[in-house]
């Protein structure tokens, strides 16, 4: 799906407006190394729901939100991407740097800083305290993940550290909501400028590290034991043979669940939607209005809504992979394959999340330091099978491929077909990357550095909230874009009126448009009805389902439903051609817009659109003529 909750971050406007009455709230920046839990704390303080996960680089641009202080005043909290130092190397670090130094246009320089560090790795993370304290802005140093530190037997003397650093220090666990009072006190109380006893030469990394080490040992910092479970899990997940097997098993499990175990949920949604919609339609006065509701809402939008369980399951799995820390391991396993295609393992993380939606994935490429690598990743991300494509695939596969087991209960023919389509998207993407990287985007290699986070249990709360958000976005989309496009289509099928009667659908405006483009799509095995669907899919891919649902739903001779109607109108070759067309075509306005924004012009999105369209047409043509 191309519209997504992450897109709240697409807009440049702040998430919340300032309260009109109060004085302008002071701006407070949240800064810290990647994956230290800044966004988790941000969400605690502001009650907002920015995306958090367990890998470095989840936040790629600034977000801001209002924290209401206990005394009624407010502070504006700015959540920044993670940085290792104040000398930026990648796009997301540049954002953080510019906001802190007041160089970012449109964002005021923060009056105070919350520096979030991982308490389980204090001495290295304290290195960042030196450049931050030298800014001379009131700063609270927050040592996060107190629960991990305690459980693994680490400890430190907070007061001694405060004395050393000349700034207040709080030991908290943002995830467990522990110790946050200190942060509130800081925000509400007097903010004193820091007065550190000594600061190192900032440009000299070894000196900074020595300084940080001294601060830690003077505060009697006892580092925690190495994460035992992370080591144990890694010896399975990164095992030379076991690792890739687990990786493959995870993928098969995801798809098998989406196909088989989601069916009862899907049936329940269908029943609920169809029966309530039909009841509502029967209450309406005029036949035309009744048929509008039946065709557009029940048969059109209804055929999209049934995919809600599958889309949520997909997000559930992606959420678990992200929050547990497994995603970084998957990137590690994939790195060599990616290197063969001229990319690096870091590109793998955006590409994996593009399986939900290409828009946030394209924004996530900001963590890639090398600009040419980043552009290559942006250009190939839309080939990944997003959740909108998933719905189209589910419909066509269910209509044309029998549910036959291949490997017993483990793998059915439908699951295999779906895996094949995902593989097709992935392979096309990496081959395209190879072409780009050996021609227009050739570049020297930048070293690949990826920090492996410790494994953590995904919390029910974090994943649950994300699913609720996703569900809302999905329904909002069905209720807006898809509903409007399907309704316009309905009107176009009823015009022009002949003697006050709607014409046969072939002679309607919609039918005329469809038959006008038919010569262009006939070589792909599509008739004019599919053609209309393809046009509406330009709004977003899954709209083709609601369009076809309503076009076939109007046809009185066809009572058997969308799948049977498709079987009647498409040969197996035509169905394959349709799948291939959807696998390659860039039918998503939001993606085009975000590519334009991230690459700073129309050149790249135009090239990408042309390339993907040609590939879609040629691919579908070949598929239709080979299979028939």
Partner 1 sequence: MQLSVNSSEPEAILKSLVDLRRGDAAVLDRIDMPGDDARRLMELGFLPGTTVTAGQSAPGGDPRVFQVDGSEIALRRETARRLKVRPTRRPAR
Residues in contact with partner 1 by CB under 8 A are 84-85, 87, 89, 120-121, 123-124, 127, 205-206, 209, 223, 226, 230-231, 234-235, 238-241, 243-244, 328, 332-333, 335-336, 339, 345, 445-452
Output the smallest distance, CB 88 to partner 1, in A: 11
Nearer to partner 1, 226 or 496 (CB): 226
In the numeric block, the tokens 């035992």 are attached to 228
Nearer to partner 1, 25 or 216 (CB): 216
Give kind and range of the element (H or E) at residue 28: strand 26-31
The Cα–Cα gap between 216 and 157 comes to 9
Output the smallest distance, CB 118 to partner 1, in A: 9
DSSP-derived pairing of the beta strands 63-68 and 74-79: antiparallel
The Cα–Cα gap between 144 and 130 comes to 18
Nearer to partner 1, 230 or 512 (CB): 230
Output the smallest distance, CB 343 to partner 1, in A: 12
The Cα–Cα gap between 597 and 604 comes to 10
Output the smallest distance, CB 91 to partner 1, in A: 15
Output the smallest distance, CB 134 to partner 1, in A: 16
The Cα–Cα gap between 107 and 89 comes to 21
The Cα–Cα gap between 444 and 441 comes to 10
Output the smallest distance, CB 448 to partner 1, in A: 5
Nearer to partner 1, 40 or 85 (CB): 85
Token code pair at residue 212: 């940080």
Nearer to partner 1, 233 or 281 (CB): 233
Nearer to partner 1, 445 or 568 (CB): 445
Nearer to partner 1, 149 or 397 (CB): 149
The Cα–Cα gap between 186 and 175 comes to 19
Nearest to 77 by CA among 120, 34, 118, 31: 31
Angle at 355 between CA 350 and CA 361, to 5 degrees: 30
Peptide bond before residue 496 is cis, with ω within 30 degrees of 0: yes
Output the smallest distance, CB 206 to partner 1, in A: 5
Cβ-based neighbour number of residue 145 at 10 Å: 27
Identify whether the C-beta of residue 114 lies closer than 8 Å to the C-beta of residue 41: yes
Output the smallest distance, CB 232 to partner 1, in A: 11
- 3-class secondary structure, 577: helix
Nearest to 359 by CA among 382, 379, 390: 382
Cβ-based neighbour number of residue 424 at 10 Å: 17
Nearer to partner 1, 27 or 452 (CB): 452
Alpha carbon dihedral 150, 151, 154, 159, in 10-degree steps, equals 0
Cβ-based neighbour number of residue 498 at 10 Å: 11
Nearer to partner 1, 79 or 369 (CB): 369
């Amino acid at each position: 799906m191309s519209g997504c909750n992450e897109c709240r971050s697409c807009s440049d406007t702040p998430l919340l407006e300032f309260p009109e009455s109060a004085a302008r709230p002071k701006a407070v920046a949240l800064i810290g190394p990647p994956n230290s839990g800044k966004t988790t704390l941000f969400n605690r303080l502001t009650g907002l729901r920015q995306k958090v996960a367990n890998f470095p680089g989840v936040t790629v641009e600034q977000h801001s939100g209002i924290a209401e202080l206990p005394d009624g005043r407010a502070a504006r909290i700015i959540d920044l991407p993670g940085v290792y130092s104040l000398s930026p190397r990648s796009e997301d670090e540049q954002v953080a740097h510019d906001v802190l130094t007041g160089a970012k246009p449109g964002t005021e320089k923060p009056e105070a800083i919350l520096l979030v560090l991982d308490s389980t790795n204090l001495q290295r993370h304290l290195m960042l305290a030196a450049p931050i304290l030298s800014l001379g802005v009131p700063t609270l140093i927050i040592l996060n993940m107190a629960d991990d530190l305690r459980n693994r037997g680490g400890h430190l003397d907070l007061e001694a550290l405060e004395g050393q650093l000349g700034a207040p220090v709080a030991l908290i666990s943002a995830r467990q909501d522990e110790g946050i009072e200190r942060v509130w006190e800081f925000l509400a109380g007097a903010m004193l400028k820091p007065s550190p006893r000594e600061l190192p030469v900032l440009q000299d990394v070894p000196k900074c590290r020595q300084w940080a080490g001294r601060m830690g040992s003077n505060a009697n910092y006892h580092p925690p034991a190495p994460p035992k479970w992370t080591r144990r899990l890694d010896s399975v997940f990164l095992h030379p043979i076991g690792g890739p097997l687990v990786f493959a098993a995870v993928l098969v499990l995801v798809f098998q669940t989406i196909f088989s175990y989601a069916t009862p949920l899907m049936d329940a949604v269908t029943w609920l939607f169809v029966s309530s919609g039909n009841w509502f339609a029967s209450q309406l006065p005029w036949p035309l209005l009744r048929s509008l509701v039946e065709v557009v809402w029940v048969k059109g939008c209804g055929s999209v809504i049934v995919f809600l369980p599958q889309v949520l399951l997909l997000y559930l799995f992606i959420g678990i992979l992200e929050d547990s820390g497994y995603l970084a391991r998957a990137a590690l396993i994939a790195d060599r394959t990616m290197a063969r295609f001229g990319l690096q393992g870091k590109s793998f993380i955006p590409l994996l999340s593009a399986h939900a939606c290409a828009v946030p994935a394209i924004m996530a490429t900001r963590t890639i330091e090398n600009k040419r690598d980043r552009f290559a990743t942006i250009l190939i991300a839309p080939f990944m099978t997003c959740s909108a494509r998933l719905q189209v695939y589910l419909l066509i596969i269910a209509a044309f491929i029998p549910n036959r087991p291949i490997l017993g209960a483990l793998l059915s023919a439908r699951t295999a077909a779906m895996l094949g389509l995902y593989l097709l998207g992935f392979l096309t993407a990496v081959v395209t990357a190879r072409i780009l990287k050996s021609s227009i985007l050739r570049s020297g290699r930048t070293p690949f550095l990826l920090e492996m986070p410790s494994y953590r249990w995904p919390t029910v709360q974090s994943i649950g909230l994300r699913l609720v958000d996703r569900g809302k976005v999905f329904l909002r989309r069905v209720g807006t874009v898809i509903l409007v496009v399907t309704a316009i289509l309905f009107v176009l099928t009823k015009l022009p009126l002949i003697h006050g009667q709607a014409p046969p659908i072939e002679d309607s405006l919609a039918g005329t448009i469809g038959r006008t483009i038919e010569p262009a799509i006939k070589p792909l095995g599509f008739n004019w009805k599919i053609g209309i669907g393809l046009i509406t899919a330009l709004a977003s891919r899954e709209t083709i389902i609601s369009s076809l649902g309503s076009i076939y739903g109007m046809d009185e001779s066809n009572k058997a439903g969308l799948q049977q109607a498709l079987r009647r109108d498409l040969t197996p070759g035509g169905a394959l051609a349709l799948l291939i067309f959807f696998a390659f075509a860039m039918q998503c306005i939001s993606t085009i817009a975000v590519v334009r924004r991230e690459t700073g012009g129309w050149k790249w999105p135009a090239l990408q659109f042309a390339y993907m369209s040609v590939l879609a047409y040629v691919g579908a043509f070949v598929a239709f003529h080979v299979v028939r």
